[in-house]
Amino acid sequence: MADVLTEAEATNRLMRLAKEIARHDQLYHDQDAPEISDADYDALVRENRELEARFPQLVDPEQCFFDLCALSHEVVPGVRATCRMEGDAWEMEDHRNWLDASFKTYVRPLALPHPYALKAGSRITQTVTPATGR
């Protein structure tokens, strides 16, 4: 990635990366026919994240949290509630500026193809563990 990049160039590259990553996700997850190595795929994702970090104004507001493993908040002063999530990837959308003023948490990353295609014999394991503490 070039050190000097305009916002317009970053916008263009992010759009191309999104299409390319989505295509490889579909090939891998739905067709079991990957065309690139895991390392090459990881490089695309890394470049995408680096660009989003350099140009946060270009991040799609529908995809503001990725790779969640837990949610935690203070229920009342001195008491925290934590929900740990294990299994397939989890993501969250920020809907606070929308009608229902909430966060939506998804088990299936929205960037992956829909509907979720499961092959015969696939085993899916997910766990939600609520935990509270002071």
- The pLDDT, as a whole number, for residue 112 is 60
Query: 37 pLDDT exceeds 70?
Result: yes
- The pLDDT, as a whole number, for residue 53 is 87
Query: 120 pLDDT exceeds 60?
Result: yes
Mean pLDDT taken over the chain = 76
* Structure confidence by residue, pLDDT tens digits, 54-97: 998 888 766 656 666 677 888 889 888 877 766 665 666 655 55
CATH number 3.40.50.360 given to 1-59: no
Half-sphere CA count of 55, side-chain side, radius 13 A? 18
What is the DSSP code string of the chain?
--SS--HHHHHHHHHHHHHHHHHHHHHHHTSS---S-HHHHHHHHHHHHHHHHH-GGGS-TT--B-S--EEEEEEETTEEEEEEEESS--EEEE-TTSTT--EEEESS-TTS-SS----TT-----EEEEEEE-
- The pLDDT, as a whole number, for residue 16 is 94
